[in-house]
Amino acid sequence: MRPTLRRLTTVVLVVPLLLLAGCLQSKKADLLDKAEGIQTKAALRDRLGQPDDVAKLGPIETWTYKASDGTVSFLIAGDTVTMSTTGETAPAR
């Protein structure tokens, strides 16, 4: 196969898969259900994966996960998950 045709074939196959992956993002309720009962930072990472954003202030961390219908944030003190909150996705400008 020629290099140009090979690249085109790769793009045609990969782009739809990436778009589909974005559509399969969890909802806020799904993330909260998966995290129910989680008490440690390591257990949260094992259950939900790496957070999309981490904010730190001393020993306090806020881990934020993006969902298809907003965000879910977990407040972590030291190694202990203390609370969770949900938010809306900011509108595109």
H or E segment to which residue 71 belongs: strand 70-77
Q: Is residue 60 within 8 Å of residue 47, measured between CB atoms?
A: no
Q: Tell me the mean pLDDT per 10 residues along the chain, length 93.
A: 72 61 76 96 97 96 96 96 86 58
Amino acid at 19: L
Spatial distance between the Cα atoms of 33 and 64, rounded to a whole number of angstroms: 15
Q: What is the pTM of this model?
A: 0.70
pLDDT at 3: 72
- According to the CATH classification, is domain 25-93 in 3.30.70? no
pLDDT for res 92: 58
Q: What residue spans define the domains of the chain?
A: 25-93
Residues 67/88, Cβ–Cβ less than 8 Å: no
pLDDT of residue 11: 64
